[in-house]
Amino acid sequence: LGTSVGYFLDGAVHSQLASGGNLSAPFPDALQEFKVETGALSAQYGMHSAGAVTMVTKSGTNQWHGDAFEFVRNGMFNARNVFALKRDTLKRNQFGGTVGGPILSNKLFFFAGYQGTKTRADPSPTQSFVPTPAMLAGDFTAITSPACNNGRQIALRAPFVGNRIDPAQFSKPALAIVGRSDFPKPVDGCGLVTWGNPFVSNDHMAVGRVDYQLSSSLSIFG
């Protein structure tokens, strides 16, 4: 079951109520520690019998601390796959940093962090087939020929004769779609078109925390 594993962040439940999976976790540079427990869990985890994942975000201290990072993946750094015609075009940049320190020494502290991830990739070529001008004119002899069917000849069933269809029988809404100026044009007599959507993704994550030490035995954070 999805709810058999519990996720907790800074002492609070960090699970999706619908699926039982985890919500987004702080990126590694903003994470102080994590713990994974399996098997016989204590009663505090309730119905989460299979396992528990607890995470704690970093907090500020009396000393200033921070870091910056960038992780790069780029197709220009990669060798071409032996079976590929060209190198991949993936461009992935993951960057950010953290900073933490005192607002009031020994009393009030803060921590903040940011991570951005930008991914770009050219579309993967996908093959589809659309009506050719000959088909729109009612002539299906090319699309049914062995050249378009792996060497197999196809004959349209009756009442069609000679692999031809009266264009008057075509769907008017379909003809309206095919007639649009942005409808893809086939590159051969079989109606082949090659297309793809470029992959573009921009993800941002910000983490912030403030700790207040009221006394040696009492503290609060948010």
pLDDT in tens, 55-72: 999 999 999 999 999 999
The pLDDT score that the predictor gives to residue 2 is 54
| pLDDT reading at 186 higher than 70 | yes
The pLDDT score that the predictor gives to residue 153 is 94
Q: What is the mean pLDDT of the chain?
A: 90
Whether 110 and 64 have beta carbons less than 8 Å apart is answered as no
DSSP-H helix ranges across the chain: 133-136, 172-178
Whether 114 and 97 have beta carbons less than 8 Å apart is answered as yes
| pLDDT reading at 25 higher than 50 | yes
Q: pLDDT-derived band of residue 1, with 50, 70 and 90 as boundaries?
A: very low
Structure tokens at 95: 């960057």
Mean pLDDT of 181-196: 91
Q: pLDDT-derived band of residue 19, with 50, 70 and 90 as boundaries?
A: confident
The pLDDT score that the predictor gives to residue 48 is 67
Highest mean pLDDT out of 39-43, 115-119, 183-187, 216-220: 115-119
| pLDDT reading at 175 higher than 50 | yes
Sheet of strand 65-74: strand arrangement: 65-74, 91-104, 108-121, 199-215, 218-221
- Measured CA to CA, the distance from residue 7 to residue 50 in angstroms comes to 11
Taken in order 60, 64, 65, 67, the sign of the CA dihedral is positive
| pLDDT reading at 49 higher than 80 | no
